[in-house]
Each structure stands twice: as structure tokens, then as C-alpha cells.
Amino acid sequence: MTQFSRRTPALFIAPFFAVFTFVMVLPIGYAAWMSLFSEKAASGLGFGGTTTEFTGLGNFAAALTDHAFLAGLGNVALYAAIALPVQIGCALLLALVLDSVLARAKKFFQLTLFLPHAVPVLVAGIVWVLLYTPSLSPLTAALDAVGIHWDFLGPDGYLASLVNIVAWEWIGYNMIIFFAALQALPQETVEATRLDGAGEIRAAWSVKIPMIRPAVILAVLFSCVGMIQTFTEPFLLYNGGAPEMGNEWSPMMFIYSAAFERHDYGLSAAASLLLAAVAAGLSLLVTRLGRRWENA
């Protein structure tokens, strides 16, 4: 093997590592550097500008003891506990229905169910906020007409509204993952199950779902990581008429508020790194539980 041929794999891999370093490693390193400092007013009245002071792990301690940051983690945990089963369960059910022998017009329904994911998150969020606004929404008007009074943006309704938006956006995406996994299953095994007298429900529960466990675990992993970084949807709900949520409802909203409203970049960087650590730990937990489920 010549020296050039030995270097060929490195030449193909180098662009990835260059981009990864530029968009991932360097920003994380800069955030870690920023988290060690804080800006304070040079004088008591603030006329002397600001000075940067080294605080070490002070910003991390401040984030871990900040009620808003900890409450944001709790809010996201509650939201994920509701949204994750809805999102994954509905996607799996739709994929199994489309994969059944009774389904018709599969391509049409695949495209129709996937289209909500093709809509930009910001656009979808704005549309849903308009649908939730009492003075503009045909939904509230229809409910009022039958004697049901429900405030989608009120303290008792905004969480369900948030779950609905995210489910509408992501059910189709997860459904495509599950449907692709179902299409890759050995058809002999599925046909043998049907020849043994199993109906579609029994075949789905006993054969199909166990055989697509890796796809389900992957979707759960992606969903968990995405939910812990939730920002756009609650941000739009808060600014669209749900003030009870607060401007720091999720950890990402806390990070945004710390950086761009309070201009405390050190605290924002520290909270970002803590959130990244939580996401990494959650990913490891989901992966390990998923492996146990696969081997069960």
C-alpha cells in the first residue's frame, strides 16, 4: 500500500472533523471560557462601563441554585412526560396502520402526515398561537357555541397547547422512521405470522414492534434531546398571550433571558453547559435502557 493510499481515508474524513471543530468544539470551548467570567459595573452608578472578573465556578453555582433554572428543568420534565408518549405512541400507531394489509393510498397518507414537519417551526408556532387566541380563534368560538369555555393560553391550558403543537410537528417525522423500519422487516416472518392465524393487531404487537425496537429507541432518543432544548414553542406561547408561563419557563428560555435580557453572558454560558451535560446524561440513560429492552 502506497503512502498516498494510506492517507486517502484521512483526506475524506478531514472535512468532517474541520466542520465539527468549527461548529461544535470551538463554540463549546468559548462557552466554557465565558462561563468562568462575569461582567460587573465598574462603578456603583454604572457610569464607568463594565469590568470582566474571573469567577471560576461561580456561574455554575449560581445556575444550580437559581430557582428559575431548576424550575425550568422541572417544567420540561413534566412536559416531556406528557408529550413523549403521545408523540411516539401516535407515530407508532400510524406507522402500523399504514403497514397493514388493509391500508390503502399509503403514499398519499405518508405525505399528508409528514407535511406538518415540513412547515418551519416558527411559522407553525405562530399559526397555532393565532388559533389559540380567544379573539381570533375559530376553535374557541366553536367550543363556546356548544357551551365549552376553555382558555388554550390560560394557566390550566398552556401545557396541553404546547404538547399539541409539538405533537403536530413531530408525529409525522417519527412515523416515517417507524414505517421505514417496518418496510425493512423480512416479509416471510410477517407472512408466517398471518398464516398462523394472527390478526393485524396480534402481528403488530408480537412481531412487528419487537423487531423495530432499534428504530423506536432512536426516535425516543431524538425526541428526548429535542424536548430538553425546547424554546421556540413556549417562547411564542408566552409572547402570544400566556404570561403565566413566564419568560424563563424552560432552561433554553432561561439561557436566552440571561444572555439577551440581563446581559449576564457568564451565567448564560454556564447554564448552557449544564444543559448540555443533562442532555448527554439523558442520552446515555435512554441508550442503556434501550439496549436492555432490545435484549429482553
Which pLDDT score, from 0 to 100, does residue 296 have?
Answer: 67
Q: What is the value of pTM for the model shown?
A: 0.87
For 99, counting Cβ atoms within 10 Å of its Cβ (0-12 exposed, 13-18 middle, 19+ buried), the class is buried
pLDDT in tens, 232-265: 999 999 998 888 888 999 999 999 999 888 888 9
Q: 7-36: buried (b, 16+ CB within 10 Å) or exposed (e) per residue?
A: eeeeeeeeeeeeeeeeeeeeeeeebeebbb
Given phi > 0 = left and psi -120 to 50 = alpha, else beta, which region is 121? alpha
- Give the chain's radius of gyration (CA, Å): 24
Neighbours of 224 (CB within 10 A): 17
What is the C-alpha to C-alpha distance for residues 218 and 277, in angstroms, rounded to an integer? 19
69 residue type, one letter: F
What is the C-alpha to C-alpha distance for residues 131 and 118, in angstroms, rounded to an integer? 19
What is the C-alpha to C-alpha distance for residues 130 and 138, in angstroms, rounded to an integer? 10
Given phi > 0 = left and psi -120 to 50 = alpha, else beta, which region is 105? left
H or E segment and range at residue 41 = strand 37-41
Which pLDDT score, from 0 to 100, does residue 222 have?
Answer: 92
What is the C-alpha to C-alpha distance for residues 185 and 214, in angstroms, rounded to an integer? 12
CB 258 within 8 A of CB 267: yes
Which pLDDT score, from 0 to 100, does residue 71 have?
Answer: 95
Low-confidence ranges of the chain (pLDDT < 50): 1, 43-46
Which pLDDT score, from 0 to 100, does residue 45 have?
Answer: 47
Residue 255 Cα to chain centre, angstroms: 16
Neighbours of 236 (CB within 10 A): 22
pLDDT in tens, 85-106: 999 999 999 999 888 766 677 7
3 state DSSP class of 53: strand
Domains of the chain: residue spans and CATH: 83-295 (1.10.3720.10)
> Half-sphere exposure of residue 195, counting CA atoms within 13 Å on the CB side?
6
